[in-house]
Amino acid sequence: MHNSFKKIKKSKEELTPWEKAPKKRKQQKKRKNHSNDSRSFVKKLPQTYKLRKQRLARGTVALIAIFGIIFLSSLFFILPFSRILSVKVNAADKETRIAIVKASDLHYYESLIGVWPHTSQIEEQIHKKVPSVKKATIKYEGSQVIIDIQEYPTIGYLMKNNKYYKLTSSGMVDEYGTESPHGNYPVFYNFKNNDELKEMTKQYDKLDSNLKRGISEIHLDPTKADPGRIKLYMNDGNQVIAKTDTFAEKMQYYPSIVSKMNYTGVVDLEVGAFSYPYGKN
C-alpha cells in the first residue's frame, strides 16, 4: 500500500509539459481576471462616491424643503395676516349689516384657512338667514373679509313685538328687528299670517311710486264678513278702507277721488269707491 501511494504521488508530480500547459493557462487566466476585477473596482470607486454624494445632496434638499414648508406653515398660522381682523359689509343700513355679520358666523381673529373652503356655504347661509338679501358675495383682501350683497327692494316694515322688521318685495321678513323704521316706508300692523302678509306685499308692490309714498300705515282690520279687510292711514290725513285681494286695482282711483274732496275723511274702496268726512258713516 505504501508503494502504491508513492506511485500516485510520483505520477502527480511528474507531469509532462503538454499536461502542464492547460493548468498554467488556467492559473494565468485566474490571476488576470482577479487583476481586472481589482482594477474595475478601483475604477468604479469615484463613480460610487459621486452617486452617494448626489443622493445625500438630494436627501438634504428634500429635508430642508420639508422643514421649510413646516416652518412657513407654522409662521402663517401664527402671524395676524392669516386671521380675520375685520369684516366689511356693503349694505345700506346698520341693522342689515349687523344681521349679515351674525348670519355669516364669522369671528374676529378666526383662521382664514378654516373660512376659505366654506365661502359658498357662508354666502348661502347669509341669503337664508337674512331675507332681504337676494345674493351675497364674499371677497378677501388680506385679513379683511368683504361681503357684497344684492338686496330685495324694501317695501316697508312689519310691526311685531314692539319692534320693526324689514319687509321685502318677496314678502319675506328679516329676523332682526330695529327700534324705529328707516326711510319713507309704510308700517304693516296685525299681519300674523304669512300668506296674508305675502298677498298684501304683492298687492302693494303693484302700486305706482307716488301712491306708495302716500301711505303711512297699513293695518289688517278683519271682520266676520271680510277677513281680508284692511285700513290705511295716508300721509295726507285721509283713511282708506279696502280689501286685500282687490287693493291694487281699487287704489288707482284714490287720486281721482281725493281731488274732488274738500275735506279729510275716509275713502271706502271695500265694495265701491266713495268717500265721506270723518264722523259720518
Written as one string, the DSSP assignment of 211-232 is HHHTEEEEEE---SS-TTEEEE
Grid coordinates standing for 30? 485566474
pLDDT digit string, tens, across residues 130-175: 888 999 999 999 889 999 999 998 899 999 999 999 999 888 898 8
Question: pLDDT-based confidence at 14, cuts 50/70/90?
Answer: low
List the domain range (segments joined by +) for residue 98. 81-151
pLDDT for residue 70: 67
Phi, psi for 233 (deg, rounded to 5) = -110, 120
- Classify residue 177: in a domain, yes or no: no
**How many Å apart are CA 152 and CA 158, to the nearest integer?**
16
Give yes or no for residue 263 having a pLDDT over 90: yes
Total-model pTM: 0.65
Which one is predicted more confidently, 143 or 62? 143
- The rounded mean pLDDT for the chain is 82
pLDDT digit string, tens, across residues 207-247: 999 999 999 999 999 999 899 999 999 999 999 999 999 99
- Classify residue 5: in a domain, yes or no: no
Instruction: Flag the least confident range among 25-34, 56-65, 271-280.
Output: 25-34
- Classify residue 171: in a domain, yes or no: no
How confident is the model over 40-69, as a mean pLDDT? 65
Last residue of a domain, one of 43, 61, 78: 78
Last residue of a domain, one of 58, 78, 98: 78
Report the domain count for the chain: 3
Is 102 in the same domain as 116? yes
Grid coordinates standing for 231? 285700513
Question: pLDDT-based confidence at 63, cuts 50/70/90?
Answer: confident
Is 72 in the same domain as 105? no
Taking the CA atoms of residue 190, residue 194, residue 196 and residue 201 in that order, the dihedral angle to the nearest 10 degrees is 90
Buried b (16+ CB within 10 A) or exposed e, 46-55: eeeeeeeeee
Angle at 141 between CA 77 and CA 117, to 5 degrees: 60
- Classify residue 237: in a domain, yes or no: yes
**How many Å apart are CA 278 and CA 146, to the nearest integer?**
53
Grid coordinates standing for 135? 345674493
pLDDT for residue 41: 44
**How many Å apart are CA 275 and CA 31, to the nearest integer?**
133
pLDDT digit string, tens, across residues 181-214: 888 999 999 998 889 999 999 999 999 999 999 9
pLDDT digit string, tens, across residues 93-102: 888 899 899 9
Question: pLDDT-based confidence at 12, cuts 50/70/90?
Answer: very low
Question: pLDDT-based confidence at 9, cuts 50/70/90?
Answer: very low
Grid coordinates standing for 281? 258713516
Is 121 in the same domain as 98? yes
CB 236 within 8 A of CB 258: yes
Which one is predicted more confidently, 52 or 29? 52
116 DSSP 8-state letter: G
